[in-house]
Chains A and B, each alone.
Chain A
């Protein structure tokens, strides 16, 4: 058997990886599912370059009628990613912001899925805090694209490590988003031993 032969699992559908030329731009409108693995950034994707990619939904396939936080998270993340994909394609600022508003409504539902892992919870809270800190100012296209990309990565690796999540949060911060909850510092200030004047 060849060392390079694709790994197969009985009964599981394997998709061949498709690497679009440039995923730093808006999502490819021809792609049917914007939540499929893309070519950029993720360790997961780097790992599978030149190999085959298994659909994330197949990993967490559940019997009909059953549910789990991870399945719920994958489903809501798909909706969130689709919305941010639409937001990137819109050329009208008001429309973009309206779509983002709809996206923000999904965050509490995603937060309720935080048992998936602390990395997951950390990303969802950071996205929420980032929008709160914008105080209603519409996010820029770069910021939307970055969150969209991070959520796609999260959907591929929902049980993301804390370290991986922190790197993603750094990427959000690099676009000018403020990801730390301001009241955290205030809450603990009284316990600060630095004895400020």
Chain B
């Protein structure tokens, strides 16, 4: 395949993991293809997901003015798919960080360290947003119902990432294209295990069912959001692969509609 249809995880690895092996692999993967296409749906998911977590971490640093308190606060959250080892991983990273580099600038003072990371994360969030459309050779599948608004620092120094969702007053702009191919929707639905207890699988099956059974109904922004990974398989052009780090979810969806998924 000469073309890649770039999914959210790749965008996150490139923009939010500076100097990491994941960033290196993702960038190298883009060079494998003649044409790399970034759908705006990836940008939307990236802003509502990874970028939002970064903004949360930033805001917690603003609130607590302490790196240690921020670790504890974040670890106390029972968020989505956060792994059990999160706190250990953060503690290990902090230890590595303290053993190199940072001690030269912020020393061991907790407030200094909090400020160091606050400034770095603020910079990364805004600069990564500005780079988002420069990652691939093309940005495709624009979403007229979604406004790409730059993250900004709002009241009290907290990040304002709104809007993260589409306009609630209009139908999802993807709806007519999705509804025009019910067999494709059906194939995608059948590729998701009926017995899966994962929340995202259940929501995706429901969203696909709603589109298939009730084509006359308005497709709202929640349905569009729940389609998630299925959107990439559905819109991936012929001759292209879905480029993702999440093969587990994307491979069966892509295969159901005659496409394939590759990882970096």
Seen from chain A, the residues whose Cβ lies within 8 Å of a Cβ on chain B are 104, 107-108, 111-112, 114, 118, 121-122, 125-126, 128-129, 132-133, 162, 166, 169-170, 178-197
Contact = CB atoms under 8 A, between A and B. Distances in A.
A174 to B, nearest CB: 12
Interface stretch (B114-122, B141-149, B219-227, B230-238): B114-122
B161 to A, nearest CB: 14
Contacts of B123: 122, 125-126, 166, 169, 179-180
B50 A192 contact: yes
Q: Which 7 residue pairs spanning A and B have beta carbons closest together?
A: A185-B17, A180-B18, A182-B19, A190-B86, A193-B49, A196-B245, A132-B101
Given A180-B18, A183-B97, A194-B246, A125 B116 contact: yes
Contacts of B115: 114, 121
A121 B116 CA distance: 8
A191 to B, nearest CB: 5
Interface in B14-47: 16-20, 22-23
6 contacts: A181-B117, A191-B57, A192-B53, A193-B79, A194-B12, A196-B246
Interface stretch (B102-110, B166-174, B188-196, B210-218): B102-110
Given A108-B107, A111-B105, A166-B126, A185 B18 contact: yes
B160 interface: no
B250 to A, nearest CB: 10
A181 B18 contact: yes
Interface string B127-167: 10010000000000000000000000100000000000000
A128 B74 CA distance: 27
A180 B123 CA distance: 8
B89 A188 contact: no
Nearest to B83: A190
A118 B126 CA distance: 13
A122 B105 CA distance: 13
Given A126-B123, A191-B86, A197 B20 contact: no
A128 B117 CA distance: 13
Q: Which of A104, A108, A182, A186 has the most CB of B within 10 A?
A: A186
- Assign chain B's interface to a size class: 35 or more
Contacts of B18: 178, 180-182, 184-185
Contacts of A129: 101, 120
B12 A197 contact: no
Q: Which of A129, A181, A186, A188 has the most CB of B within 10 A?
A: A188
Contacts of A178: 18-19
Contacts of A195: 9, 81, 246, 249
Given A184-B124, A185-B20, A189-B89, A194 B105 contact: no
A187 B119 contact: no
Contacts of A192: 12, 16, 49-50, 53
B8 interface: yes
Given A188-B53, A196-B22, 9 more contacts: A111-B106, A114-B119, A118-B153, A128-B105, A162-B153, A185-B16, A190-B90, A192-B49, A196-B9
A181 B122 CA distance: 12
B180 interface: no
Q: Which of A107, A190, A195 has the most CB of B within 10 A?
A: A190
Given A122-B123, A129-B120, A185-B17, A191 B107 contact: no
Nearest to B153: A162
A180 B54 CA distance: 14
Contacts of A196: 9, 13, 22, 245-246
B85 interface: yes
A169 B49 CA distance: 25
A186 B81 CA distance: 17
Given A180-B18, A182-B19, A185-B17, A193 B53 contact: yes
B93 A186 contact: yes
B149 to A, nearest CB: 15
B104 A121 contact: no
Contact of A197 (B81, B127, B248): B248
Given A125-B119, A132-B101, A162-B122, A182 B20 contact: yes
